[in-house]
């Protein structure tokens, strides 16, 4: 077995994260990780047909469909959600025999591997959509300082952009966790199978700006190597981000069937603080609404998101809950230089 | 061959339509004709678990999932769209060997048949959802005066309800065309796989009111039989409905790939008059918008609907166009009697 695979995933990441002092050689733009999330599918296809748009002088950009079988069938997945196939522990085992596991292993070999000190891909933009009214939210690992830099730059350009930190766990199964650094570029609301047009235009611009940031980062590294005194001082800024914490289940009967739904007053209210006593679920039979009981959680404001995400019915997640936290983000490049 | 099957479908319908002088014995409420249209699936399942809600003294109500395979898989269909399997000409042939054709034939046998002077079902409410912002629209055959009566009653109760006449063609392949009378009960926007909560509550109320109307209709017939002079005079009212006319295709390249999408300014604008020169499509590459050229159509106002309906990408329908027309509708029962 690859000795690296025996490393604790947290330790492995610490050693290999893309950071402020390393240049990026390869960036991945992936659509169709979920085949029915069509903004991502069509944006990736558009970049594949127009590769000059995503080329930058100092690094290679690879654009691909993560799950081409699901994209063709216009379904989330064919046999298994590929965005749950990228745990380190699974990638170091032979692939289970299904389309998505095999594709995940092939991608890991081609663009990773995750079980390495230096995967080939320095950054992954993984394009997703949700049926929830999240707007653009950049979901990234809480320990990924470089992804946070990119995210903070994009949120500075477009103040509607939100940054969300993935759950604080040792490893994640998402495709964007395979490289040295990366993010799930989540956009909603967009129905399965549809292009949400305003969001498509916004996403295209943000991805191109993200590539520009990485190019400026690489130029800065080159400049510093030539002339170590040439760099401007790195500054820090405190920004507010959301930290994913909990999820809330649907009301169901003893057979496991839904007996209620997201309350009409909660629908589309992603990122708006949830107050004690606020209705969460309306019941099919018109009986009393189920209300939010804040005493079940640690004190402090909580913010719902992924409210009524279609793919989460089967995972029994009605919505997720986040807290707002302050994080320090490096600002090594002034916006005027990008 | 069933001699009725040789009848022209228009003539057959004329002879058997549910009308103001016949009582209804069986009403069908169908969900899951498209398995990922979840408002319909869950409303039908809810009625199946609570049959008393949809029982009325004078007729039998049958609630079912039209395509249980697709509902289970949370997809529009498994092998073929079942809502295109109900042409008279197809139902009188042996079923092609696929899940949906076989299911369509079984339903036709159980609840029809369509090739009959008196199918078992007098009325079908077929529950659908669309990703377009249509609100509730009741889509019904242009020659179905009884469905128009029901529709006009529901639109009178809830002024947000729109009535849309199906294309004026000899026969339709939709499930709702199988019985003596019926309508596609279309509700949007609702993403595939999601329950749209406000629309669920509204739909439940409207279906129950539709059943109440049919009960009042039957009571009126019974009353008239007992005492022919007892009926109030039938009045007529002119109402505005939409007549489906055309559809508009997506912009594509020579390989058939999309090169543009619904324009952000057209998205969510269902039922708002389309003006000459208005943008229809935004192009992925940011080149000039494609505009509406009214000179391609007969003169008079046109209204787009089913804008960005997910299932219509594969049919290459970006949206449909309707005209507003005035129709006479019978008002044989005053609202206060229902």
Q: Nearest C-alpha of chain B: how many angstroms from A337? A: 25
Tokens of B85: 């399997």
Smallest Cα–Cα separation from B250: which of B298, B199, B284, B207?
Answer: B284
> What is the residue-averaged pLDDT of chain A?
95
pLDDT at residue B154 in the model: 98
Contact B195/A263, CB-based, under 8 Å?
A: no
A46 at B interface, C-beta within 8 A: yes
Contact B45/A257, CB-based, under 8 Å?
A: yes
Q: For residue range A15-67, what is the model confidence (pLDDT) as tens digits?
A: 999 888 889 999 999 999 999 999 999 999 999 999 999 999 999 999 999 99
Smallest Cα–Cα separation from B322: which of B233, B240, B208, B204?
Answer: B240
**One domain for residues B50 and B124:** yes
A313 at B interface, C-beta within 8 A: yes
CATH number of domain containing B271: 2.20.25.160
Q: For residue range A260-289, what is the model confidence (pLDDT) as tens digits?
A: 999 999 999 999 999 999 999 999 999 999
Whether the bond between A189 and the residue before it is cis, its omega within 30 degrees of 0, is yes
CA pair distance A39, A23, nearest whole angstrom: 30
The fraction of chain A above a pLDDT of 70, given in percent, is: 98
pLDDT at residue B49 in the model: 94
Q: For residue range B127-186, what is the model confidence (pLDDT) as tens digits?
A: 999 999 999 999 999 999 999 999 999 999 999 999 999 999 999 999 999 999 999 999
* Structural domains counted in chain A: 1
CA pair distance B222, A5, nearest whole angstrom: 79
CATH number of domain containing B29: 3.40.630.10
**3-class DSSP assignment, residue A14:** helix
Domain assignment of residue A228, yes or no: yes
What are the Cα distances from residue B241, in Å, to B42, B103, B166, B310? 28, 33, 11, 24
pLDDT at residue B337 in the model: 85
Contact B257/A282, CB-based, under 8 Å?
A: no
A78 at B interface, C-beta within 8 A: no
pLDDT at residue B309 in the model: 98
Q: Are A74 and A52 in contact (CB under 8 A)?
A: no
To test the contact with chain A by mutation, choose from B188, B190, B191 the residue with the greatest count of A C-beta atoms within 10 A, namely B191
DSSP letter for each residue of B183-215: EEEEEES--TT---HHHHHHHHHHHHHHHHHHH
Instruction: Report residue B177: phi and psi, to 5°.
Output: -90, 0
Smallest Cα–Cα separation from B78: which of B91, B64, B67, B86?
Answer: B67
pLDDT at residue A19 in the model: 87
pTM value is 0.95
The residue ranges of DSSP E strands in chain B, in sequence order, are: 26-31, 60-65, 123-129, 135-140, 162-165, 182-188, 235-248, 260-262, 279-283, 290-291, 303-305, 319-331
**3-class DSSP assignment, residue A171:** coil
Smallest Cα–Cα separation from A201: which of B278, B290, B285, B288?
Answer: B285
Give the residue carrying structure tokens 């292993």.
A105
**One domain for residues B181 and B39:** yes
Q: For residue range A301-311, what is the model confidence (pLDDT) as tens digits?
A: 999 999 999 99
CA pair distance B34, B80, nearest whole angstrom: 10
DSSP at A45: H
**One domain for residues B218 and B288:** no
Tokens of A33: 């990780």
Q: Which member of A194, A263, A311 has the closest CB to residue B197?
A: A263
Q: How confident is the model at residue A207 (pLDDT cuts 50, 70, 90)?
A: very high
CA pair distance A333, B275, nearest whole angstrom: 47
Give, to the nearest 10 degrees, the angle between helix B38-49 and helix B197-226: 50
Q: Are A28 and A62 in contact (CB under 8 A)?
A: yes
CA pair distance B89, A28, nearest whole angstrom: 52
**One domain for residues B304 and B163:** no
**One domain for residues B256 and B188:** no
Domain assignment of residue A94, yes or no: yes
CA pair distance A79, A85, nearest whole angstrom: 12
**One domain for residues B299 and B204:** no
Q: Going edge to edge, which strands form the sheet with B26-31?
A: B60-65, B26-31, B123-129, B182-188, B135-140, B162-165, B235-248, B319-331, B303-305
B52 at A interface, C-beta within 8 A: no
To test the contact with chain B by mutation, choose from A35, A42, A187, A195 the residue with the greatest count of B C-beta atoms within 10 A, namely A195
Res A2 pLDDT > 70: no
By C-alpha distance, the chain B residue nearest A131 is B191
CA pair distance A263, B195, nearest whole angstrom: 10
A311 at B interface, C-beta within 8 A: yes
Is A92 exposed, middle or buried (CB count within 10 Å of its CB: 0-12, 13-18, 19+)? middle
The total number of residues written for chain B in this structure: 338
> What is the residue-averaged pLDDT of chain B?
95
pLDDT at residue A231 in the model: 65
Domain assignment of residue A31, yes or no: yes
**One domain for residues B263 and B114:** no
**One domain for residues B319 and B207:** no
**One domain for residues B116 and B254:** no
End-to-end C-alpha distance for chain A, whole angstroms: 43
A75 at B interface, C-beta within 8 A: yes
Q: For residue range A116-156, what is the model confidence (pLDDT) as tens digits?
A: 999 999 999 999 999 999 999 999 999 999 999 999 999 99
B45 at A interface, C-beta within 8 A: yes
Res A174 pLDDT > 90: yes
The fraction of chain A above a pLDDT of 90, given in percent, is: 87
What are the Cα distances from residue B329, in Å, to A58, B145, B152, B167? 70, 7, 7, 19
**One domain for residues B234 and B255:** no
**One domain for residues B251 and B229:** no
Q: Are B257 and A71 in contact (CB under 8 A)?
A: no
Domain assignment of residue A153, yes or no: yes
pLDDT at residue B1 in the model: 56
pLDDT at residue A298 in the model: 86
Q: For residue range A320-336, what is the model confidence (pLDDT) as tens digits?
A: 999 999 999 998 888 88
Contact A197/B267, CB-based, under 8 Å?
A: yes
Contact B131/A191, CB-based, under 8 Å?
A: yes
B311 at A interface, C-beta within 8 A: yes
What are the Cα distances from residue A296, in Å, to A245, A292, A293, A315, B225? 13, 9, 6, 21, 63
ipTM of the modeled complex:
0.93
Structural domain harbouring B277:
246-323
- Phi/psi zone of residue B271: left (φ > 0), alpha (ψ -120 to 50 degrees), beta? left
Q: Nearest C-alpha of chain A: how many angstroms from B51? A: 12
pLDDT at residue B21 in the model: 85
CA pair distance A145, A18, nearest whole angstrom: 8
Low-confidence ranges of chain B (pLDDT < 70): 1-2, 5, 231-232
Smallest Cα–Cα separation from B88: which of B203, B171, B185?
Answer: B171
Contact B200/A284, CB-based, under 8 Å?
A: yes
Q: Are B115 and B91 in contact (CB under 8 A)?
A: yes
To test the contact with chain A by mutation, choose from B127, B261, B311 the residue with the greatest count of A C-beta atoms within 10 A, namely B261
pLDDT at residue B181 in the model: 97
DSSP letter for each residue of B131-163: SS--EEEEEE-TT-HHHHHHHHHHHHH-TT-EE
DSSP letter for each residue of A107-159: HHHHH--SSSSS-S-SEEEEEEE-SS--EEEEEE-TT-HHHHHHHHHHHHH-T
Mind spelling out the 3-state secondary structure of A237-286?
A: EEEEEEEEEEEECCCECCCCCECEEECCCCCCCCCCCECCCCEEEEECCC
**One domain for residues B211 and B266:** no
CA pair distance A115, A88, nearest whole angstrom: 6
Res A223 pLDDT > 70: yes
């Amino acid at each position: 077995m690859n000795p690296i695979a025996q490393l604790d995933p947290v330790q492995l990441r610490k050693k290999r994260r893309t950071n402020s002092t390393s240049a990026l050689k390869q960036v991945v733009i992936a659509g169709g990780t979920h085949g029915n999330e069509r903004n991502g599918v069509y944006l990736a296809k558009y970049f594949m047909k127009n590769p000059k748009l995503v080329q930058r002088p100092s690094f290679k950009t690879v654009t691909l469909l993560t799950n081409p079988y699901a994209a063709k069938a216009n379904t989330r997945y064919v046999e298994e959600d590929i965005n749950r196939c990228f745990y380190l522990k699974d990638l170091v085992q032979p692939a289970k025999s299904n389309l998505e596991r095999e594709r995940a292993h092939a991608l890991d070999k081609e663009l990773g591997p995750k079980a390495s000190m230096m995967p080939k891909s320095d950054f992954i933009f993984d394009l997703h959509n949700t049926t929830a009214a999240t707007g653009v939210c950049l979901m990234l690992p809480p320990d990924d300082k470089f992804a946070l830099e990119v995210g903070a730059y994009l949120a500075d350009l477009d103040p509607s952009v939100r940054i969300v930190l993935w759950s604080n766990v040792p490893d994640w199964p998402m495709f964007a966790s395979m490289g040295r650094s990366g993010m799930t570029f989540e956009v909603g609301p967009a129905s399965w199978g549809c292009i949400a047009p305003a969001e498509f235009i916004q996403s295209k611009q943000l991805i191109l700006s993200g590539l520009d940031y990485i190019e400026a980062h690489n130029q800065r590294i080159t400049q510093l190597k030539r002339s170590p005194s040439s760099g401007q001082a790195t500054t820090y800024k405190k920004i507010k981000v959301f930290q994913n914490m909990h999820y809330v289940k649907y009301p169901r009967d003893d057979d496991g069937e839904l007996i209620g739904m997201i309350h009409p007053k909660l629908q589309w209210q992603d990122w708006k603080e949830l107050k004690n006593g606020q209705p969460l679920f309306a019941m099919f039979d018109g009986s009393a609404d189920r209300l939010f009981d804040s005493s079940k959680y640690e004190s402090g404001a909580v913010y719902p998101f992924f409210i009524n995400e279609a793919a989460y019915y089967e995972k029994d997640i009605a919505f997720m809950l986040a807290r707002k936290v302050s994080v320090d983000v490096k600002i090594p490049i002034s916006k005027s230089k990008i």
